[in-house]
């Protein structure tokens, strides 16, 4: 950004010349980058075109810039070694994060396969929205999210997850974090403590703690959340992943679901159901949501597009119980929807045209194959020295070593050196000594053909 000071005795064109020159020398304007046209720069600076033209011409004459006919002005490639240190503006610390580390064998459970993204259909929907003349760029989204998207989601959730609601109960969010931020503000007048799964997804734990709630970790048994422990805690809110416990993978049986619902009724409590990867089930039929078992109850249903579509879009949704709608409108009536209108509209088209269902079918087939490849690779490399738990759904499995414990931190580091990324299981534990005989193996982000070799590297490192 350039700023001209009319109170300064230095001519305006010279001020601009100096500022551009300093940025070129400091490397802040990269070689061959294009400067704004004379006209645009003049508008930006509220200066005359002569001012900008004078600066550009002088910079060209001295070799800082070069011009290309009908294309504009570009930054010259100047060898930084040759720039005398006296000319350099003291370099500022570069605060940009480095490029994200990439691993050949990325076993992080939240990675999707880049091949699975339906680029062509999504691009068509985006382009259509860009071309349409219906105000995609001249207005805000509806605060709660576009009604068309909420209505489409309502059909989808009812059909596929047994969720029973109306579009006015659906709130479009930019991920679980933002959804839970809203929930935390919505419930803090009535609740003080939240039970979270242990091991469990770390985000809700941190989020509710940051909002001032007492967070009580509750253990996980073979059927998911330990309901006895929940009952003996004084909590009135429970955050759970009943259809695919994160990270251990248990499915909560219907008897436990009903017991949980009865706990909520008795306690006048609230259940937050995180149904993050329900679309991906490779064994048996999909399990219906908890919300569908008791739609009139105090259950907040959370869903996301991050697991089968893309985590990069930041698109998710939640279904609020009717009992919270009044407070939601009271507290959030002036809030704006955090998801760009363009993304919402493109998703409406994507779903309405049947691309979503088609994409789900493809993903299920594709990830089922990867899931199978992972189980086979584990069998081949670990044999009877490990057993797999939590398989049959989602994008990861958990490997439990039958003999011996792992130095987890050491293994994560050694695996990194061999090109394998592991997310430590201990990250999922609230406190205390983490289990160290478990490995979390995501298969979404590893190339199908690389799975056997990646798993073999891990088994060699462990043995």
For binding to ligand PLP (CB under 6 A), which residues are involved?
A: 110, 175-177, 201, 241, 246, 274, 276, 304, 306, 311, 316
Looking at the Cβ atoms of 21 and 244, the one nearer to ligand PLP is: 244
Beta bridge partners of 106: 421
CB atoms within 10 A of CB 460: 11
In angstroms, what is the minimal distance from the CB of 316 to ligand PLP? 4
Looking at the Cβ atoms of 21 and 421, the one nearer to ligand PLP is: 421
| Distance in angstroms (rounded) separating the CA atoms of residues 3 and 27 | 19
Looking at the Cβ atoms of 314 and 355, the one nearer to ligand PLP is: 314
In angstroms, what is the minimal distance from the CB of 274 to ligand PLP? 5
Looking at the Cβ atoms of 176 and 271, the one nearer to ligand PLP is: 176
In angstroms, what is the minimal distance from the CB of 363 to ligand PLP? 16
Contact 425, 202 (CB under 8 A): no
In angstroms, what is the minimal distance from the CB of 362 to ligand PLP? 20
Looking at the Cβ atoms of 201 and 382, the one nearer to ligand PLP is: 201
Looking at the Cβ atoms of 41 and 240, the one nearer to ligand PLP is: 240
Looking at the Cβ atoms of 246 and 393, the one nearer to ligand PLP is: 246
Q: Which of 388, 423, 389, 429 is nearest to 409 (CA)?
A: 423
| Distance in angstroms (rounded) separating the CA atoms of residues 368 and 279 | 12
- Give the DSSP per-residue string, 379-425: HHHHGGGEEEES-SBTTEEEEEESS----HHHHHHHHHHTTEE---G
Using CB atoms within 10 Å of the CB of residue 76, give its burial: 0 to 12 exposed, 13 to 18 middle, 19+ buried. middle
Looking at the Cβ atoms of 146 and 274, the one nearer to ligand PLP is: 274
Contact 242, 255 (CB under 8 A): no
| Distance in angstroms (rounded) separating the CA atoms of residues 5 and 18 | 13
137 Cβ partners below 8 Å, 6+ apart?
342
Write down the residue that tokens 């929807």 correspond to: 337
In angstroms, what is the minimal distance from the CB of 236 to ligand PLP? 21
Q: Residue 319: phi, psi to the nearest 5?
A: -110, 120
Contact 250, 197 (CB under 8 A): no
In angstroms, what is the minimal distance from the CB of 9 to ligand PLP? 55
Looking at the Cβ atoms of 175 and 297, the one nearer to ligand PLP is: 175
- What interhelical angle do 49-61 and 38-45 show, nearest 10? 120
Contact 186, 324 (CB under 8 A): yes
385, HSE (Cβ side, Cα atoms, 13 Å): 14
In angstroms, what is the minimal distance from the CB of 390 to ligand PLP? 13
Looking at the Cβ atoms of 167 and 204, the one nearer to ligand PLP is: 204
Q: b or e along 431-459 (b: 16 or more beta carbons within 10 Å of the residue's beta carbon)?
A: eeeebbebbbbbbbbbbeebbbbbbebbb
In angstroms, what is the minimal distance from the CB of 247 to ligand PLP? 8
In angstroms, what is the minimal distance from the CB of 175 to ligand PLP? 3
In angstroms, what is the minimal distance from the CB of 209 to ligand PLP? 17
Residue 198 parent element (H or E): strand 193-198
């Amino acid at each position: 950004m350039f700023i001209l000071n009319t109170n300064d005795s230095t001519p305006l064109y010279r001020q601009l010349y100096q500022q551009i020159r300093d940025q070129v020398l400091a490397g802040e304007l990269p070689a061959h980058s294009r400067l704004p046209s004379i006209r645009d720069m003049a508008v930006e600076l509220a200066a005359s075109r002569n001012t900008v033209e004078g600066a550009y011409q002088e910079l060209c004459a001295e070799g800082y810039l070069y011009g290309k006919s009908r294309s504009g002005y570009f930054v010259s490639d100047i060898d930084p070694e040759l720039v005398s240190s006296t000319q350099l503006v003291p370099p500022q610390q570069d605060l940009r994060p480095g490029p994200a580390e990439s691993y050949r064998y990325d076993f992080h459970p939240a990675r999707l396969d880049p091949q699975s993204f339906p680029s062509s259909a999504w691009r068509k929907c985006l382009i259509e929205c860009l071309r349409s003349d219906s105000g995609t760029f001249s207005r805000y989204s509806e605060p709660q999210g576009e009604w068309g998207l909420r209505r489409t989601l309502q059909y989808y959730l009812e059909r596929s997850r047994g969720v029973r609601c109306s579009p006015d109960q659906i709130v479009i969010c930019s991920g679980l974090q933002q959804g839970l931020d809203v929930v935390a503000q919505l419930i803090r007048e009535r609740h003080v403590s939240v039970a979270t799964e242990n091991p469990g997804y770390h985000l809700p734990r941190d989020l509710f703690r940051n909002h001032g709630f007492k967070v009580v970790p509750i253990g996980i048994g073979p059927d998911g959340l330990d309901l006895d422990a929940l009952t003996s805690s004084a909590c009135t809110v429970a955050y759970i992943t009943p259809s695919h416990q994160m990270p251990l993978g248990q499915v909560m049986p219907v008897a436990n679901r009903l017991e949980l619902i009865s706990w909520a009724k008795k306690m006048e409590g609230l259940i937050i159901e995180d149904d993050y990867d329900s679309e991906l089930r490779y064994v048996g039929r999909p399990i219906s949501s908890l919300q569908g078992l008791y739609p009139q109850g105090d259950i907040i249903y959370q869903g996301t597009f991050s697991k089968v579509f893309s985590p990069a879009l930041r698109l998710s949704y939640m279904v609020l119980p009717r009992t919270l709608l009044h407070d939601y409108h009271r507290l959030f009536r002036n809030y704006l929807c955090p998801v760009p209108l363009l993304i919402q509209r493109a998703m409406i088209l994507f779903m309405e045209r049947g691309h979503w269902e088609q994409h789900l079918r493809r993903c299920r087939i594709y990830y089922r194959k990867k899931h199978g490849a992972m189980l086979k690779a584990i069998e081949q490399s670990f044999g009877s020295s490990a057993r797999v738990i939590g398989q049959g759904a989602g994008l990861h499995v958990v490997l439990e070593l039958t003999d011996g414990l792992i130095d987890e931190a050491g293994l994560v580091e050694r695996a990194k050196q061999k090109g394998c990324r592991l997310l430590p299981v201990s990250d999922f534990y609230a406190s205390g000594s983490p289990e160290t005989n478990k490995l979390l193996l995501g298969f979404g982000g590893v190339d199908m053909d690389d799975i056997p070799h990646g798993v073999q590297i891990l088994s060699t490192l462990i043995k």
